[in-house]
Amino acid sequence: MAEFPDFGRHCSEEMCNKLDYLPIQCNSCSKPYCSFHFSFEEHNCVGPRLKDVRVPVCSKCSEPVPVGKNEDPEAKMKAHLDANCATSKTQIFKKYCTVDNCRKRELLPVTCTLCKMQFCLRHRHTADHKCKVVLDKSKFVMRGPFIVSKNTVKVH
């Protein structure tokens, strides 16, 4: 078996110096460490903790309080408690389906390429939402369950 003298790197922790074939590079000080010393606490990292993001949890309502990068967590927690643990929840499902009597909302809106309206997954096809652009019969024709342009080539 051949030896690979240049393969792997030694752990940067002074007391360890273990040859590791899969060293982990610290996000803060950029030094290689073994699997035992890669965390900030284990190698007493003095660099800025770029990836060490912690979210404070309210002791009253047990909900996480979001804190921005340059915001003070203490101030955000105080504001959260002063507002009686009210958190502003952003609406995930914002867009409704534009078909009459359909109030279905989707996480990712489906936009029709012809009429540029937004629909739910059930009404995403032109035949399902009775696309107004397709109703102009001069440009489109029905081929089975599909509505296609008259300019498309039929492949056998």
pLDDT in tens, 10-48: 998 888 989 888 888 988 888 999 988 888 888 888 776
Residues 79, 100, single domain; the answer is no
> How many Cα atoms are found within 13 Å in the side-chain-facing hemisphere of 9?
12
- Residue 126, pLDDT above cutoff 60: yes
Check: CB of residue 97 under 8 Å from CB of residue 103: yes
Q: Residue type at 98?
A: T
Tell me the three state secondary structure of residue 74: helix
My answer on whether 27 and 66 are in the same domain is: no
Q: How many helices (H) and strands (E) does the chain have?
A: 1, 8
Residue 154 has pLDDT above 60, yes or no: no
Domain containing 110 — which CATH number? 4.10.1110.10
Q: Which amino acid is at 62?
A: S
Average pLDDT, the chain: 78
Same domain, 106 and 142: yes
Which residues is 141 bridged to in the sheet? 148
Q: Which two tokens stand for residue 45?
A: 């990292």
Spatial separation of the C-alpha atoms in residues 128 and 136, rounded to whole Å: 16
38 close to 26: Cβ distance less than 8 angstroms: yes
Instruction: Check if the beta carbon of residue 124 is closer than 8 Å to that of residue 112.
Output: yes
Domain that holds residue 98: 90-156
